[in-house]
A and B are shown apart, each in its own frame.
Chain A
Amino acid sequence: MIDFIDYLLGGISSGAIIALMALALVLVWRSTRVVNFAQLGQAMFTTYIALTVRELTGSWFLGLIIAMAAGLIVGVIVHFLVIRPVKRLDTSGAIIATFGVLIALEALAAMVWGGDPEAFPPPINNSGYEAFGRIWPFSPYDLLVLASVVVLVLALSVVFTRTNVGLAMRASAFNPEVARLSGVRVNRMLVLGWAIAGLVGAVAGVLVAPLSTLSPTSFDIFLVFAFTAAVIGGLDSLVGAVAFGIGTGLVIALVSGYSDSSNAPLVALVLLVLNLLFKPEGVFSHHKARAV
């Protein structure tokens, strides 16, 4: 029983990070109906930027902020350079193009920063809290991760539900024609969706890097988890992405704990297949729940 609790506790922060990654995928899907397989490549790239800034200035926080800004910009660039021209042809072309961007980003990162894994140490203590005479697998850094994710998700939900631009973005996702007829510049909202996704992915990247190491391909595995969470959540639903992102993190922690972490991707794929077989529209698809 205590194992079970340990595994769950250990999975919370990675679940929260997967939630962010899934959120990034959903933000892009909602705006342009494209799964951006480059999303975590973008996050890897901005995390390297954070690492560089941190090495230059000694500030983790400054690294995070610069990475977020870079995430916005990279999101816009990817949208304009690759998705825009390809989108005119068809959607499957755009999805293949996102793979192209992923490969290009990984190659570019290897050129700039080298291909070897680099340490990205946590900014605060990452050893578990001690209580009731034992050490629990939940550290101050896990708390920082959780707090950052909560703040970001709350900020996003305020933007989406309480501001004009958030309303315009939701309307553009649900019904672009009505949005345009209402005066919304829908194309700008789509770009903004990619930009915000880039920012969210950048935060996820900086937060996840200390949990392993940073290399051009070290985030690839998270694409599987984030994609699973996003699809099960309905691809359309921000709430679904967060809920199933955390859920996926916990399931992975349990699987890794009771068997071996190398089984985790397989379990994610099984979840994905079961979901596609029994509930292909996703659990939180906006056709049923009023998605935010």
Chain B
Amino acid sequence: MLRIDGLSVNYGAVEALKNVSLDVPPGRVTAVIGANGAGKSTLMRTLAGLQKPLAGRVLFNDEDITGGKPEDIVRMGIALVPEGRSTIPDLTVEENLKLGGMWRTHAQRATSLTRVYALFPVLGERRDLGADTLSGGERQQLAIGRALMTGPQALLLDEPSLGLAPLIVTQILELVELMARDSGLAVLLVEQNAVTALRVAKTGIVLNLGEIVKSGPAQEIAQDEELRHAYLGY
């Protein structure tokens, strides 16, 4: 569904991504793991159109979307939940959700809203409260909810576990995995927290200093001790 082909991204002289290629198929979670500074966020931001690549292509359903604007890319069906709870504290919970997918029809949006509230009941309970009153875990749910409101075919999650209790992370990620399986959503999850990410993912990809050093079935990656010591630091 989402195909990344030879992607390179530089910030000035810093080579953040070097010739990265990977596939993100529908109906499952693909995890990219790597230490801080590996280039995970750069990858996600480039896919979402926030960062221009130096070289390489991004194909979505065989269409070349490289270098597109974020607002166009999300309309095509790729939604990014950026690193660090991308909610707007000045808006209410429901306003944060309604921000997603304004170009869609009224009926589509109503359906998505019902679905998001079913998935994350706490958001429904707090719909009229300011997003600043939510806990970290609730805000992450809100950020994912906003992305789902755009009716995506591909969901990009940038370190959803950051600063959250492990139990909450597991809950959220299992929900995402279920959603991928049920509705054919293609999920690309990037994480420093390899253990949790690889538990819900089918495929694991290890990124180090902007380069893919290993990819394969998530279980294999999770059990590869050498890999863990070398790149993931545990």
Contact = CB atoms under 8 A, between A and B. Distances in A.
Q: Do A and B bind each other?
A: yes
B20 interface: no
B50 A186 contact: no
Contacts of A177: 50, 70, 82, 86
B99 interface: yes
A182 B90 contact: no
A164 B102 contact: yes
29 contacts: A164-B102, A167-B91, A167-B98, A170-B91, A171-B88, A171-B91, A171-B95, A171-B99, A174-B88, A174-B90, A175-B86, A178-B86, A178-B99, A180-B69, A180-B70, A181-B70, A181-B86, A181-B147, A182-B99, A182-B102, A182-B146, A182-B149, A183-B71, A183-B74, A184-B99, A185-B71, A286-B90, A290-B91, A290-B130
Contacts of A183: 71, 74-75, 100-103, 150
B86 A167 contact: no
Given A184-B71, A290-B130, A291-B90, A168 B102 contact: yes
Among B70, B74, B95, max chain A CB count under 10 A is at B70
B212 interface: no
Contacts of B154: none
Interface in B61-89: 69-71, 74-75, 79-80, 82, 86-88
B44 to A, nearest CB: 11
A168 B90 contact: no
Contacts of A153: none
B14 to A, nearest CB: 21
**In the A-B complex, the 4 residue pairs with the closest CB atoms:** A180-B70, A182-B99, A183-B74, A182-B100
A179 interface: yes
B69 A178 contact: no
A175 B98 CA distance: 15
A27 to B, nearest CB: 16
Interface in A129-149: none
Interface in A158-211: 164, 167-168, 170-171, 174-175, 177-186
A187 to B, nearest CB: 9
Interface class of chain A by DSSP: helix
A174 B90 CA distance: 7
Question: Most chain-B CB neighbours within 10 Å: which of A174, A177, A182, A286?
Answer: A182
Interface of A: 164, 167-168, 170-171, 174-175, 177-186, 286, 290-291
- Among A170, A178, A183, A185, the one with the most B-chain Cβ atoms within 10 Å of its Cβ is A183
Contacts of B101: 182-183
Of B74, B79, B88, B98, the most chain A CB neighbours within 10 A belong to B88
B48 interface: yes
Contact of B98 (A164, A179, A181, A291): A164
A253 B137 CA distance: 52
B141 to A, nearest CB: 15
A168 B102 CA distance: 8
B188 to A, nearest CB: 15
Contacts of B100: 182-183
A177 B48 CA distance: 11
B90 A290 contact: yes
A181 B48 CA distance: 8
Contacts of B82: 177-178, 181
B90 A186 contact: no
A170 B103 CA distance: 17
Contacts of A170: 90-91, 95
Given A178-B99, A181-B80, 8 more contacts: A167-B98, A171-B91, A174-B91, A175-B88, A180-B70, A181-B70, A181-B74, A182-B101
B150 A182 contact: yes
Contacts of B103: 183
A184 B72 CA distance: 9
